[in-house]
Amino acid sequence: MELNSKIPPGPLAEKWDQHKFDIKLVNPANKRKYSVIVVGSGLAGASAAATLSELGYAVKCFCFQDSPRRAHSIAAQGGINAAKNYQNDGDSVFRLFYDTLKGGDFRSREANSYRLAQLSVNIIDQCVAQGVPFAREYGGHLANRSFGGAQVSRTFYARGQTGQQLLLGAYQALEKQIAKGLVTMYPRTEMLDLVMIDGRARGIVVRNLITGKIESHAADAVVLATGGYSNVFYLSTNARGCNATAIWRAYKRGAAFANPCYTQIHPTCIPVSGDYQSKLTLMSESLRNDGRVWVPKAKGDKRPPNEIPPAERDYYLERKYPAFGNLGPRDITSRAAKEVCDEGRGVGETGRGVYLDFADAIKRLGAQTITERYGNLFEMYERITDENPYKVPMRIYPAPHYTMGGLWVDYNLMTTIPGLYALGEANFSDHGANRLGASALMQGLADGYFVIPYTIGDYLARGGINAVNTDMPEFRNTEREIAERTSKLLSIDGKRTVDSIHRELGHIMWDYCGMSRNDAGLRKALELIPQLRDEFWKDVNVPGSDAELNQALEKAGRVSDFLELGELMVRDALNRTESCGAHFREESQTPDGEALRDDEHFAYVAAWEYAGANAAPILNKEPLEFESIHLSQRNYK
Amino acid sequence: MNLKLHVWRQPSAKDTGRIESYEARDVSPDMSFLEMLDVVNEELIVAGKRPIAFDHDCREGICGSCGMMINGVAHGPQKATAACQLHMRTFKDGDEIVIEPWRARAFPIIKDLVVDRSAFDRIIQRGGYVSVNTGGAPDGNDILIGKSSADHAMDAAACIGCGACVAACPNASSSLFTGAKITHLGKLPQGQPERDRRVIGMVEQMDIEGFGNCSWFGECQEACPKEISIDVIKQMNRDYVAASARASSNE
Amino acid sequence: MNQVTRFWRSTIGRKIVMAVTGIIGIGFLLAHITGNLLAFKGPDAINSYSHFLHGPGAELLWAARVVLIVALILHVAAAYSLTQQSHAARPDGYTKRVPQASTLASRFMRWGGVLLLVFIVYHILHFTTGTFHPGGEYVEGDVYHNVVQAFHVWWVAVFYMVSMVFLGLHLYHGAWSSARTLSITGDSPHPLKHQLSVAIAVVVWLGFTLVPLGVLLGWIG
């Protein structure tokens, strides 16, 4: 497989402008003759669908939720980064770019990260124009805060609901186009396969989740904006419906899957409380601005937190990373929590938790200020745990949150399949091995509003796209395969529920391919996952029929894909014997336990190619070349 | 604790539904309400029965997917809380819980507790946006917005579109939902040029969809997981009258 | 579509009509009470007020009657059609529904309204036309006599006093909700507060109850 990243030549700061000039344009009168399918209606999908239709393309947009407004982007709390430098604190496009690259441990593509930083400023302007109610200062100017380890205040926010407000902005833009009849929306519709004709992506096969009907849709290009795959861990901060089916089926049709092992574990989530638990709730990272993280110095200290005197507390982040303290990057902070819990110093009933303590901040700033800053988060915490964080320190623990890996895309966001694009969390390109806080929203919107509208035109304008229709055998055959797969799932009639198998997969992934990984564990997972997959196909119980709303069937399809994707993640983690960003290989660490990169051997993107059901996937490498910066070892001490 | 559930079961839109009863055993007080339903569903599947269908997704109270009448109260007994954030410690051992779908002509039942809320999307389509295409937006700080206007707009914009307001309203009115969007955009300078068109269009659509009128019962505000104030309905009325007056003077 | 038609067809338009006509009604009731209370000053005061209305003030009276009748018809027509629409908006009710915030008054607006309509008809037949006047003879123009005679019949007095409780309830919710429908109140952190409408409801209820109660207890007549 040839991986041509199509990075434009020229100086870093001019690449995107030059590229926009070089790529072909579609004649405005011809745009309506081209059709584009957008799968997913989150920040990337909704913004892409709206913008493409504004340009004149005939757009169909699909989501599995009952309304595009419910995509999981809505749950992002903290904010969105932009290199506006409104605070005059030394921010710039280059600084945001450098922070992104460094935060990602130099495993992202330089040109993509730079473009992302460039576009960040346009995003804010666009969202303001849409009426997104960003926080404002008394003078009427946009407010900023610093976030997730950044040394500048570049994060824009709308209370603790930034993702919601940005998504509603994109959703409203989308509804505006739907009202004009320029986008056809298909809610409660799930993509189950990609259809290829003459080596190009030409459509999708979907299931109408209400009637169960399998339908085909043809188009000139297909855009996947279907989010990440953290739910492979079963418990994650993702919504229950988040799944990898669209990108996984695209992978099986020939799209390379890049860096699947890069999964971000968010440090501030509410710990697991029991087996029934269905998801983990994230507490905004902004809490670390005022909260202090600690555990007891002594192992197995079961005293209530307020009875442990300061001298017997270990503020381990402040101790280990004096420069950044409690505000270090997510991967480092998460791993530090795991370490202290592994030492037996974790708190709470399960021992898998650390304290996030606001007592000092309340003393310093007053409860009033803390309420203003975090009131709704405190309420949410109390609602879930029945503990009052004004009086008792919060308990937090890391949880799977975001996947930096995804479909391999070139600079145009096109996958290795011509005509198939991947946007937002579904692709791999901008965050490297670890994503900065408040950068996911930025990437989703950059891809959707400002990248794909240009780059898709280049593909369409180059021609060679023949007329197709859904009666062609490629569509019919794919529909048949889907129907067969569905009836297989329904006919097994075994003993195990889909959730129980999913939960077991989650345990395997968390134990062996979670916050830290080692050779033996990964090899063990490589044995366990196929066994579990066999068990799934032999003993799963999916009740109901395929001709109705059948949530168990939906889940079964998604879990069957997670059972395959999980194995690829493990393979990738096993291959990458270095530590980088969120991928921590125990074999590769500095003497004091920090991640140790191996630039000589691993400065590449691992793009895995499907080789058939019974063959090992093929590893392709895209070397990462850095023209503008030199690689340094991350140091947050 | 052990509970008895009385759940509305309806195989599809065409079928007639009825209440069926289930035991929920060994429920932990730390479970969320939906996790309790997950556990009941797991048992139903193992017993060869059909699990209870209900909409849910983020399970952190923001996506607006979930929603059901729990003992006659939209989203259940805890104020400002969506069903997914309701925890079982609100109940006690031996409680009986009646669970029903949202009921409104504009929200037809799809299955069990799942209803079709696409009417909300169609209301937004009639003007719940600012008509600005991508590109060409001025700098974010070129439009100055006072903190209190921004805060007011945000209060209204917090709506998650769950439909609890409709479900709780004795008239099945969607005024809180519609008023929230009108208020969000109406408080901001970006929303001014289309303000009249927006309110007339959205109110008309709300009526076309078959929602009832607002009688100021105040139930919607009480049911709203985001505590949106019925002041937004007042704003909608005011805008509607002003827009109607301007429209007729232009006739 | 004609703007007036569109306005009437919209739920908000009809609510506005209800609010405006309701406020006209409240204005009338307050004037009515002022007149009634003249009964405490004796026959001359109230009868001369009546003679004024039927003599020099007749044009004013008729103008008021026309406005009130039109207001009443619009109020009832809007209420009827909105009620029909609300019922249609939820064809299948809940097995269980527990009101959380709504007042009894708000939930009794429709039935209370019907009851008040019946009362109004009875009241006009009783005191305006004298068609139905139990307990004695109706004397055209002698308001004091008619009132005293009527309320000496205990069940008539009770019927009036009970009806006034419903009127008070109707106004308690109606005054508050009209003000909100017309958006003539400011935004409030506690928008469910009803202070002004409590005052109006109490004044109207008490004002109208005093006369039959006064007759019954012998303060009047």
Q: pLDDT tens, A152-196?
A: 999 999 988 999 999 999 999 999 999 999 999 999 999 999 999
DSSP alpha helix (H) spans, chain C: 3-9, 11-37, 43-54, 58-89, 104-107, 109-123, 143-152, 154-181, 195-217
How many alpha carbons lie under 13 Å from residue A542 in its C-beta half-sphere? 28
Please check the confidence at residue A255 and state whether its pLDDT lies above 70: yes
Give the Cα-Cα-Cα angle B218, B222, B224 (nearest 5 degrees): 115
B74 and B121, same structural domain? no
Share of chain A above pLDDT 90, in %: 90
Count how many domains chain B has.
2
Contact B154 A84 (CB under 8 A): no
**Residue B89's domain is classified under what CATH number?**
3.10.20.30
Residue C95 lies in a domain: no
Q: Is-contact B147 B86, C-beta < 8 A? A: no
Q: How high is the mean pLDDT of chain B?
A: 97
Chains B and C touch (3+ CB pairs under 8 A): yes
* C-alpha pair distances (Å), A597 with each of A97, A633, C210: 20, 7, 91
CA separation for the pair A266, A281 (Å, rounded): 10
The residues of A annotated with a catalytic role in the active site are 330
> What CATH number is given to the structural domain containing B172?
1.10.1060.10
- Render the burial of C182-198: b for 16+ CB within 10 Å, e for the rest: bbeeeeeeebbebeebe
- What's the rounded mean pLDDT across residues B7-21? 97
Residue entry with tokens 């405490």: C40
Beta-bridge mates of residue B6: B21, B98
pLDDT tens sequence across A520-562: 999 999 999 999 999 999 999 999 999 999 999 999 999 999 9
Q: Which tens digits make up the pLDDT trace of A318-328?
A: 999 998 899 88
Mean pLDDT of B29-48: 96
Please give the average per-residue pLDDT across B158-162, as a whole number: 98
User: Facing residues of A223 across strands?
Assistant: A38, A421
ipTM of this predicted complex?
0.98
Q: Within 10 Å of residue A129's Cβ, how many Cβ atoms?
A: 21
Q: Do B170 and C86 touch (CB under 8 A)?
A: yes
C1 touches chain B (CB under 8 A): no
Return the number of CB contacts < 8 Å for A and B: 215
Q: Tell me if A261 sits within 8 A of A428, measured CB to CB.
A: no
Q: Are residues B127 and B229 in the same domain?
A: yes
CATH 3.40.50.300 fits A473-600, yes or no: no
Range of the domain at B40: 3-105
- Residue in C closest to B227 by C-alpha: C189
Which residues in chain A touch residue B29, judged by CB atoms under 8 angstroms apart? 386
The encoded tokens of residue A217 equal 């849709």
Decide if B77 contacts B69 (C-beta within 8 A).
no
Mean pLDDT along residues A345-349? 94
Q: Are residues B121 and B245 in the same domain?
A: yes
Q: Is the pLDDT of residue A634 over 80?
A: no
Specify whether the CB–CB gap between A373 and A288 falls below 8 A: no
Residue C144 lies in a domain: yes
The domain tally of chain C equals: 1
To the nearest whole angstrom, how far is the Cα of B1 from the nearest Cα of chain A? 14
- B208 has a chain A CB within 8 A of its CB: no
- Give me the mean pLDDT over the B190-199 stretch: 98
Q: DSSP assignment of A591-618, as one string? A: TTS-B---HHHH-EEEEEE---TTSPPE
Cβ atoms within 10 Å, residue A637? 11
Confidence category of residue A258, pLDDT binned at 50, 70, 90: very high
Question: Do B125 and B238 fall within a single domain?
Answer: yes
Q: Identify whether B121 is part of a domain.
A: yes
Q: Is residue C211 part of a domain?
A: yes
Mean per-residue pLDDT, B112-119? 98
Q: Chain B residues with CB inside 8 Å of C96's CB?
A: 69, 71-72, 98, 100
Q: Is residue B110 part of a domain?
A: no
Indicate the pLDDT class of residue A630, thresholds 50, 70 and 90: confident
Return contacts of A332-336, CB within 8 angstroms, 24+ apart: A332/A594, A332/A595, A332/A636, A333/A267, A333/A288, A333/A293, A333/A398, A334/A265, A334/A266, A334/A267, A334/A398, A334/A515, A335/A515, A335/A516, A335/A584
pLDDT at A197 over 80: yes
Looking at residue A77, its pLDDT comes to: 87
What value does the mean pLDDT take over residues A296-303?
94
d(CA B80, CA B220): 11
Q: Is residue B140 part of a domain?
A: no
DSSP state of A142: B
Whether B216 sits inside 8 A of C16 (CB atoms) is: no
Banded model confidence at residue C1, pLDDT cuts 50, 70, 90: low
Q: Is C193 on the interface with B (CB under 8 A)?
A: no
Q: B49–A543: do the CB atoms touch at under 8 Å?
A: yes
Nearest Cβ partner of A240 from B57, B116, B160? Answer: B57
Chains C and A touch (3+ CB pairs under 8 A): no
- Residue C178 lies in domain: 3-88+103-217
Ramachandran category for residue A386: left, alpha or beta (phi over 0 → left; psi -120 to 50 → alpha): left
In-domain check, residue B196: yes
Strands A394-403 and A354-357: antiparallel
pLDDT in tens, A135-149: 999 999 999 988 876
Nearest CA in chain A to B188: A131
User: C87: exposed, middle or buried (C-beta count within 10 Å: 0-12, 13-18, 19+)?
Assistant: middle
Pairing of strands A35-39, A221-224: parallel
pLDDT confidence bin for B162, thresholds 50/70/90: very high
| pLDDT higher than 90, residue A594 | no
What separation in angstroms does the CA of C161 have from each of A22, C42, C101, C167, C215? 87, 21, 28, 10, 12
In a domain, C152, yes or no: yes
Q: Give the tens place of pLDDT for each residue, A612-625.
A: 999 999 999 999 99
Based on the number of CB atoms within 10 Å of its own CB, is A407 exposed (0-12), middle (13-18) or buried (19 or more)?
Answer: buried
| C161, C209 Cβ separation under 8 angstroms | yes
* B44–chain A nearest CA distance, Å: 10
pLDDT score, position C142: 92
pLDDT tens digits, A517-530: 999 999 999 999 99
What crossing angle do the helices spanning A551-575 and A498-513 adopt, rounded to 10°? 20
- Where residue C188 sits, what CATH number does that domain have? 1.20.1300
Cα(A183)–Cα(A187) distance, integer angstroms: 12
To the nearest whole angstrom, how far is the Cα of A203 from the nearest Cα of chain B? 25
| Rg of chain C on CA atoms, in Å | 19
Q: Does residue B248 surpass a pLDDT of 90?
A: no
Q: Return the domain boundaries, chain A.
A: 265-401, 473-600
The sign of the dihedral angle between the CA atoms of A85, A91, A93, A99 is negative
Residues of B in contact with C86 (CB under 8 A): 170-173, 212-213, 215
Give the pLDDT band (50/70/90) at residue C136: confident
CATH no. for A265-401: 3.90.700.10
In a domain, C98, yes or no: no
> What pLDDT is recorded for position A596?
95
* DSSP 8-state symbol, A459: H
Answer yes or no: do B121 and B101 share one domain. no
Q: Give C3's pLDDT tier (boundaries 50, 70, 90).
A: confident
Whole-angstrom distance, CA of residue A532 vs CA of residue A508? 10
The answer to whether the CB atoms of B11 and A179 lie below 8 A apart is no
Q: How far apart are CA A187 and CA C116, in angstroms?
A: 49
Percent of chain B scored above 70 by pLDDT?
A: 100
Note whether C154 and B206 are within 8 A (CB).
no
> Is residue A433 very low, low, confident or very high in pLDDT (cuts 50, 70, 90)?
very high
Average pLDDT over residues A318-339: 90
